[in-house]
Amino acid sequence: MTTTAATDEPQDREQWIRVEGARTNNLRDVSVRVPKHRITVFTGVSGSGKSSLAFGTIATEAQRLVSDTYPLFVRNRLPQGRAADVDRLDGLMFTTIVDQRPFTGNARSTVGTASDIAPLLRLLFSRIGSPAAGFSPAYSFNDPGGMCPRCEGLGVVDDIDLGLLLDRRRSLREGAIRFPTFAPGTYRWKRMVHSGLVDPDQPLAALPAAGLDTLLHAEGLRLSDPDPEYPKAGRFDGVVPRLRTSYLRKTPSRLTDEEKTALDRVVTRSTCPECGGTRLNATARASLIDGRSIADWTATPIGELRRIVAALRFPSVAPLVRTIRERLDAMKSVGLGYLSLDRASNTLSGGEAQRVKIVRHLGSALSDVCYVFDEPSAGLHPHDVHRLLTLLTRLRDAHNTVLVVEHHPAVIAAADHIIDLGPGAGTDGGRIQFEGTPAEIGATRTATGRMLHTRIRVNDRPRTAREVVTINHATAHNLHGITVDVPLRVLTAVTGVAGSGKSTLIASELPRQHPAFTVIGQAPLHGGIRSTPATVLDIAEPVREAFSNATGLHPSWFSTNSRGACPVCKGRGIVVTDLAFLDDVRTTCEACDGSRFNPTTLAAGLHGHTIAQTLSMNATRAKDLFSDHPEITRRLAWLDQVGLGYLTIGQSLDTLSGGERQRLLLARHLSTTESAHQRIVLDEPTAGLHGNDVDDLLTLLDRLVDSGATVIAIEHNQRVIAHADHVIDLGPGAGADGGRILYQGPPAGLIASPHSLTGRHLRDFVR
């Protein structure tokens, strides 16, 4: 069944969000009605336009319109989103986006601060902690009143290993300080040699201890007898303070490769000896409630901390205790009971980060809010998906509207309404394929309908490994001294509930003990409007050189960052008009018609195509154009093989979906690896992939394994688990309850494993 929203029906803002003529990214004049106060799931293959409709059109425009209601002074300090490319939107609501973007790399952000539980604990301790440390900032490691003075609230200290920094057999003049900025001939080297503190021609091992100590550790010293070459007004800082100031107390904006290598060699990181890693000063740590400090509380797994809080009997703070308990219950209900509040937020996966964000909205007094979720099941074991569905239902039942971009069959089945886009990806997508109920879509021949009703079979003819590598006595994080054999030249799935230790064992311990393994994780592809698949695959420069050879122009003429850029829009393709106190206006550049190149460049061609036309080609067409350039076609072929042949090679990265970015990362790795016997670890490679796309990915992985590669996938996706040759299942639970091997062997045996939650759900799935 294929329908579109009729535009002549009476408008009913109480019941519908109405979209007419949406053209964001690849949407093809989409018109549709989205029911309010329901759970609506947007489905379709990766790149079909789901996110463009839910996020790029509905959510973006709703947030932009809300921003317009603020005074101009406030509006100028809010993110400035561009207007959606749509003819009409009606019935929009106050909208909150809950996406999968991991938390930033801020070392001061923890699960407690990100979930807004930490401020409540500080307030509680400031009221009933004994002896009291002061007001709530006195319990904060982000405030001078509460932070440890030694580590400044970071919990760790970086220091210089003098044994690795110094070559005591050499003299200063011979380069005894093994760091690039102190190499012979450099400015810092000259200051050391001419300081007059020690004999620069004597080996460090032969120098007087006092003189060497001054050379290494002095700060702000006025020298008594320096050489004439030493700056007359200069004060002397020793080697260690200089390195700490330049590299440890702040991160330089630019580091050379030599400096990075040297820092990795000579800098050691250890737990702060003064606070024991708690980040807090002695006064804050001494303040107790029932014999426990706030540091003890935040180091306790959330599931156990909830029981500690529930046992408190202090009537004066009863409302505060109740609020903390509700927040902890919410964290546990989203499957994060294994986390502790002192866990650094930048160590969370995208799925964990999204669930922490969900907790912020539970129990909110607001209603009639539209919540837009980007694949909230990402990173969740099937056993935990029902918890997610309970949360989505709670939000809906609080008189809210819930929009979810999803592929997971259980989430699709729990929806009130389905909007399916397709039929394909990129230019082959962007159309409404189906609107209706979960029961109805299962009977259709759409890609999603076929995925839902196609039976999955367990691999009954797995490949047999002839070799293994062994992970010996792995104890990192929650691993309980695991020793396990990992088979080579087969496809292995590593499974278990979230937090069971999968990534620690395979993405951390395996490459540490066996460096031949390459981990392709979930790190985002950075880049804005100027970054494209061509730049990610490192073919942008070869493409420019091909045009240069064909036209006689320098390669820089074919770059939007150099001589080839349109002089009006500076190579951006759009012109931004600043209207001071009003929103900026973005229009397509009339000088280059959005091509981003100047007239000289656009007049040059390769086989009848300009550089702008070439960058508008997908990988399949571009391969034909560069058939006589094997390095370009080889890399484009990998883009095709990971299922991204439809992408235009000059498409901006910020228009790609999460699934597309993940596969582009895989294509980049495969295109730069020569060995057929490569060893690859993929951390949740199916994130953002439709079931059809998962099958295509498995076909590619099979080809790699058949050619001699070893592929290990850390996964929850049951299609991957059923297809694997070998499964390593961890558990039984998360955190301290996990970190043990429950099963290892072919997937058929996993189904019969009595203690494996993964096996239980796989059994239900294949049925």
The predicted-structure confidence for 59-92, as pLDDT tens digits, reads as follows: 999 998 888 888 877 776 676 666 788 999 999 9
How far is Cα of residue 703 from the mean position of the Cα atoms in its chain?
A: 28
Query: Which range is least confidently modeled, 303-317, 380-394, 465-479?
Result: 380-394
The residue extents of the domains of the chain are 10-102+348-452, 111-155+276-346, 157-271, 455-528+658-766, 532-651
Choice between 489 and 453, residue whose per-residue pLDDT is larger: 489
> Is there a common fold for 10-102+348-452 and 455-528+658-766?
yes
Q: What is the pLDDT of residue 584?
A: 57
Q: What is the pLDDT of residue 7?
A: 43
* DSSP class of 618: B
Task: Say if residue 571's pLDDT is above 90.
Answer: no
CA distances from 761 to 416, 719, 766 (A): 24, 12, 9
Specify the pairing of strand 482-487 against strand 574-577. Answer: unpaired
Q: What is the pLDDT of residue 666?
A: 85
CATH ID of 111-155+276-346, from 3.40.50.1220, 3.30.200.20, 1.20.1580.10, 3.40.718.10:
1.20.1580.10
Q: What is the DSSP string of 221-239?
A: B--SS--TTS-TTPPB--H
DSSP H/E element including 111: helix 111-114
User: Which phi and psi angles does 344 have, rounded to 5°?
Assistant: -60, 130
Q: What is the pLDDT of residue 384?
A: 82
Average of pLDDT values for 41-55?
92
**In the CATH scheme, what is the homologous superfamily, with its name and number, of domain 455-528+658-766?**
P-loop containing nucleotide triphosphate hydrolases (3.40.50.300)
Return the closest-CA partner of residue 48 out of 512, 693, 751: 693
Residue 107: pLDDT band (50, 70, 90) is confident
Q: What is the pLDDT of residue 426?
A: 80
CATH architecture of 532-651: Up-down Bundle (1.20)
338-381 pLDDT, tens digit each: 899 999 887 787 667 778 888 877 767 788 999 999 888 887 88
Q: What is the pLDDT of residue 722?
A: 96
Q: Let me know: does 142 contact 108? Beta carbons within 8 Å.
A: yes
Average of pLDDT values for 563-584?
75
Q: What is the pLDDT of residue 659?
A: 61
Q: How many other CB atoms are there within 10 angstroms of residue 93's CB atom?
A: 18
Q: Considering the chain, what is the average pLDDT of its residues?
A: 88
CA angle 617, 623, 628 (to 5 degrees): 130
Q: Could you tell me what percent of the chain has a pLDDT over 90?
A: 58
Beta bridge partners of 106: none
Residue 661: pLDDT band (50, 70, 90) is confident
Average of pLDDT values for 16-34?
95
Query: Which range is least confidently modeled, 6-15, 97-106, 266-275?
Result: 6-15
Return the closest-CA partner of residue 524 out of 403, 680, 654, 710: 654
Average of pLDDT values for 24-48?
94
Average of pLDDT values for 474-500?
93
* DSSP class of 455: P
In this structure, which topology does domain 157-271 adopt according to CATH? Helicase, Ruva Protein; domain 3 (1.10.8)
Q: What is the pLDDT of residue 6?
A: 42
Q: What is the pLDDT of residue 11?
A: 54
CATH architecture of 10-102+348-452: 3-Layer(aba) Sandwich (3.40)
188-243 pLDDT, tens digit each: 999 999 999 999 999 999 999 999 999 999 998 888 888 888 877 678 899 999 99
Task: Say if residue 138's pLDDT is above 50.
Answer: yes
Q: What is the DSSP string of 70-106?
A: S-HHHHTTS--PPPPSEEEEES--EEEEE--PPPP--
Distance, in Å, from the CA atom of 550 to the CA atom of 558, rounded to the nearest integer, reads: 12
The amino acid that residue 311 corresponds to is A
Instruction: Indicate the burial class of 417 (C-beta count within 10 angstroms; 0-12, 13-18, 19 or more).
Output: middle
Q: Could you tell me what percent of the chain has a pLDDT over 70?
A: 92
Average of pLDDT values for 326-333?
88
Q: What is the pLDDT of residue 216?
A: 93
Residue 530: pLDDT band (50, 70, 90) is confident
596-613 pLDDT, tens digit each: 999 999 999 999 999 999
Average of pLDDT values for 709-738?
93
Identify the top-confidence range among 248-252, 391-395, 684-688, 705-709: 705-709
Residue 1: pLDDT band (50, 70, 90) is very low
Q: What is the pLDDT of residue 46?
A: 83
Q: Let me know: does 493 contact 484? Beta carbons within 8 Å.
A: no
Count of residues in the chain: 767
Average of pLDDT values for 82-111?
83
Choice between 688 and 637, residue whose per-residue pLDDT is larger: 637
For the chain, the distance separating the N- and C-terminal CA atoms, rounded to the nearest angstrom, is 27
